[in-house]
Amino acid sequence: MEQNDLCTQLAAILGGDARQEDNVCTVTIRRTNMNATIAKHPMQAVNHIFYFGAPDRDGNTLITGELALLDDEVPKTVDRVTTTGIIVSAVHNHWIYDDPKLMYIHLETYTNPVTFARMMAPIAKDLK
């Protein structure tokens, strides 16, 4: 499968937008249910982002990304993600003076990108 076609397929499964640049597919999923501000200024976008490298001969690739969450979404989301076998490599904030307070969960795994997208899609959908 052509890399651009795979990137488009991953975005469709995840419900996001695809961008293919060099050997990296980036899928961005906008959180439409947030009106967040930083220092009382509207944020342009609150997004989940996933990065997919080029698949190896077995179809696996390094996948990294982050989910943008509200404080109270963190425990349940960490449980859901780790249950799939995906590694949560960091949980932290990005901003000061944000309202509501946003937290970011960073993810990593080395697996088939379509398998990952299918595991992550219901989680991302619940966080739109």
- 3-state per-residue secondary structure call for the chain: CCHHHHHHHHHHHHCCEEEEECCEEEEEEECCCCCCEECCEECCCCEEEEEECCCCCCCCEEEEEEEEEEHHHHHHHHHHHHHCCCEEEEEECCCCCEECCEEEEEEEEEECHHHHHHHHHHHHHHCC
Across the range 58-63, mean pLDDT stands at 97
Mean pLDDT of the chain: 94
- Both tokens of residue 28? 């961005």
Range of the domain at 63: 3-126
**What does the pLDDT read at residue 44?**
87
Structural contact between residues 73 and 91, judged by C-beta atoms closer than 8 angstroms:
no
Q: Once rounded to an integer, what is the mean pLDDT over residues 83-98? A: 96
Confidence grade of residue 51 (pLDDT, cut at 50, 70, 90): very high
Q: What is the pTM of this model?
A: 0.93
How many domains does the structure of the chain reveal?
A: 1
For residue 107, what are its two tokens? 């993810």
- At 1 the pLDDT is 55
Residue-wise pLDDT tens digits, 1-37: 577 799 999 999 999 999 999 899 999 999 988 889 9
